[in-house]
Amino acid sequence: MQKTLKIATRKSELALWQAVHVQQLLRRHFPHIRVELLPLVTQGDVILDRPLAAIGGKGLFLKELERALLDGAADLAVHSMKDVPVEVTPELPVEVVLQRANPFDAWLSSSGQRLAQLPPGSPVGTSSLRRQCQLQAARPDLRVLDLRGNVNTRIRKLDEGEYAAIILACAGLERLGLQHRVTETLAAPGWLPAVTQGTIGVQCRAADTGLRQMLALLNHPETALCAAAERAVSRRLHGSCQVPLAVFARTQGGRLAISALVGSPDGRRLVRSDRQGPASESAALAALVAEDLLQQGAGEIIAALG
């Protein structure tokens, strides 16, 4: 096995935190191997004046990193799993996921007001159609504005008064030591997160069997099971950032529970499915949830967005 491993990562503070975390885990397991970071700028980091749904989706955060893997400039890449499309490049599997952090959304308000307390007409920032549909369903009287940029940029815009509140991922805030900014946690069952939110994935070349065996030591089986189930629902519904889809899976005592919803961006129509069963039947359970949503009209909601 080679003496040096290079990790491709985005340059944002949060992405670097995730890459350093994987770097530290590898050093702990394999102290004889040198592990370096290869920070890269992706299209998703550069194009900040338009919503992700309008410029090709979250896959824009992966292309440059995957190119580095294919070119041999890097040996592995670290991603937020919610940025990884459900259909991955066969030559570059994402087989390893770390233990999931806080999967829920965070409500940040400059006034300290919770979601239910914000005055009608207040501007709320989010670039996610999933968050938008749930927000509009709960508070149709609020004004939703697009919000792009890294975590610190989004918080600065809140502090400068562009928004009365913004919605971010709890995991990212906690990883950056910003959990004190959270006014309210938007948690299940009332509010569902994005597919695999809070989960870090590790990608490498399929041909690198030795490296794949090494990385397998970092895999968290329970998180992997939940991630696979959530991504299976998303795959059946052709999920992407262009689809207001939320899926949340969790295990307990050998059983798996999956909750999912699809909604119109204006929040006027939401369909939801909640199923549970043996964890050993996760694929079948995910299929049931997806079909349940489709039977309730999820396909029509998604088609209307096209």
Instruction: Enumerate residues 6+ apart whose C-beta is below 8 A from 141.
Output: 120, 121
Distance CA 217, CA 213 (A): 7
Count of residues in the chain: 306
User: What pLDDT does residue 243 have?
Assistant: 83
CA 295 – CA 88 distance, rounded (Å): 27
- Exposed/middle/buried for 16, CB within 10 Å: 0-12, 13-18, 19+? middle
- From the candidates 45, 75, 83, 141, give the one annotated as an active-site residue: 83
Spatial CA neighbour of 123 closest among 134, 133, 135? 135
pLDDT, tens digit, 9 for 90 and up, residues 269-279: 999 999 999 99
How many whole angstroms separate alpha carbon 224 and alpha carbon 259? Answer: 17
Query: pTM for this one?
Result: 0.91
- pLDDT-derived band at 3 (thresholds 50, 70, 90) equals confident
Give residue 241's pLDDT: 58
| Model confidence pLDDT, tens digit, residues 24-67 | 999 999 999 999 999 998 765 555 445 545 444 445 668 899 99
Specify the CATH architecture of the domain 233-305. Answer: 2-Layer Sandwich (3.30)
Interstrand relation of 270-278 and 255-263 (parallel, antiparallel or unpaired): antiparallel
Pairing mode, strands 245-252 and 105-109: unpaired
Cα–Cα distance between 277 and 280 in angstroms, integer? Answer: 8
Termini Cα distance of the chain? 47
CA 114 to chain centre: 23
The pair of structure tokens assigned to 6 is 């290079």
What are the C-alpha distances in Å from 65 to residues 23, 35, 72, 79, 170? Answer: 16, 16, 11, 9, 25
Angle, CA of 291, 297 and 298, to the nearest 5°: 70
Contacts of 24 (CB under 8 A, 6+ apart): none
- pLDDT confidence band for 295 (50 / 70 / 90): very high
Closest to 260 in 3D by CA, of 296, 220, 303:
296
- The answer to whether 37 touches 7, Cβ cutoff 8 Å, is yes
CB 75 within 8 Å of CB 6 = yes
Q: What was the pLDDT predicted at 240?
A: 58
**What confidence tens digit (pLDDT) does each residue in 91-111 have?**
999 999 999 999 999 999 999
Active site residue 83: yes
| Integer-rounded Cα radius of gyration of the chain | 19
Residue 86 is inside which H or E element, if any? none
User: 96-97 and 200-204 as β-strands: parallel, antiparallel, unpaired?
Assistant: antiparallel
Q: Where are the domains of the chain?
A: 4-98+199-219, 105-186, 233-305
CATH class held by domain 4-98+199-219: alpha beta
CATH topology of domain 105-186: D-Maltodextrin-Binding Protein; domain 2 (3.40.190)
Please report the pLDDT score of residue 306 as a whole number: 73
Distances in Å between the Cα of 39 and the Cα atoms of 10, 84, 147, 261, 263 are 5, 18, 24, 35, 36
Does 233-305 match 105-186 at the fold level? no
